Amino acid sequence: MKKIKLFEAFAGYGGASFGLKRSKVPFEVIGFSEIDRLTSEFYQKNHPGIKNFGDITKIKPKDIPDFDLFTGGFPCQPFSQVGMGLGEDDTRGTLFHDIIRICKAKKPKHILLENVKGLKTSKHGRTLKTIVEKLTNLGYDVVTELMNSKDYGIPQNRDRIWIYAYKGILPLTFKLSPKKKKLTIFFKDLLDKNPDQSLFKNQKQIKRLKELYDLDFIVKEPSCADLYNKNIRKDGISITILEPHHNKMRVVHPPINKNLQVRKYSVTEHFKLMGFKNEKIDLCDQSYQQLCKMLANGWDVNLVSLIFNNIFDQLKNYKSQSMQIAS
């Protein structure tokens, strides 16, 4: 299989690139688009030599080298429950038009997009329908599926809609979602063995949390406190990783000498819950807030690798079967 040339839009930390590196699909990145300065710095440090084409609304397609695969997790806040949920009334919710504009000009063979499941609700379903219609009109066969990280080996309840567009006709049996995996690693297994003490809340702060959320914070094993829904999860799974300013997720440890133990997630824990495993990561001396914000808006690299393997395995088998029939 020849190398797939990738253009990574709304790149973040490079979820598509990290996912492809872990997959068996050969690839090279010809460029990326990211407007946040610190996130771009992180991307280029961890994916050296790749040019940032900047603001996608200002990119001229003729300036980008040809590519086979376009990926993009266009801003999800306009469609999320935690965000304002304004949809296309939020200017960030119209950026998919720039995806269409660039893909119309460059005609990549593959497009993979991701967004929050809110894009599929009745409130925002018109936007999803428009995306599918516009891609179809460009000659793509389009598949959309909801996938959750917890169904593929990562203990995070992260429900996302994935949109795959193929320039041509997909096999009738094509499925975007990989085969589901039973969880063998749980929330407690991904926690730091010796978490930094600065992450822990003091007893006064914990008392305030108890009053606000009506939780006792008494557990027998490390668990996730879901402050958004006012409960402590018993299923060994984390809630969706959120940006730090939402302030709705905590790790709860068993009490020590009757003192409750509640803390924030560490940066390392954020990475693990976003599917990172053995990758060497340069944190670029960036702050806790910046790194956690970037991770909250990124792609689960474990799931991405499975999706890419699944897509290209099916297309390879389909092509092989078609050649046998023709002969």
List the catalytic residues: 76
Contacts by 52-58 with C-beta closer than 8 Å and gap 24+?
52/11, 56/9, 56/10, 56/95, 56/98, 56/99, 56/102, 57/95, 57/98
Contacts by 32-41 with C-beta closer than 8 Å and gap 24+?
32/7, 32/8, 33/7, 33/8, 33/9, 33/59, 34/10, 36/294, 38/284, 38/286, 38/290, 38/294, 39/11, 39/12, 39/13, 39/290, 39/294, 40/11, 41/284, 41/286
Buried b vs exposed e over 289-305: b needs ≥16 C-beta within 10 Å? ebbbbbbbbbbbbbbbb
d(CA 52, CA 202): 43
Residue 170 C-beta-side C-alpha neighbours within 13 Å: 21
Collapse the DSSP code of 6 into the 3-class scheme (helix H, G, I; strand E, B; otherwise coil) and give the result.
strand
Residue 113's identity, in one-letter code, is: L
C-alpha closest to that of 149 among 131, 162, 165, 164: 162
DSSP string of 299-310, one letter each residue: --HHHHHHHHHH
C-alpha closest to that of 5 among 22, 20, 18, 23: 20
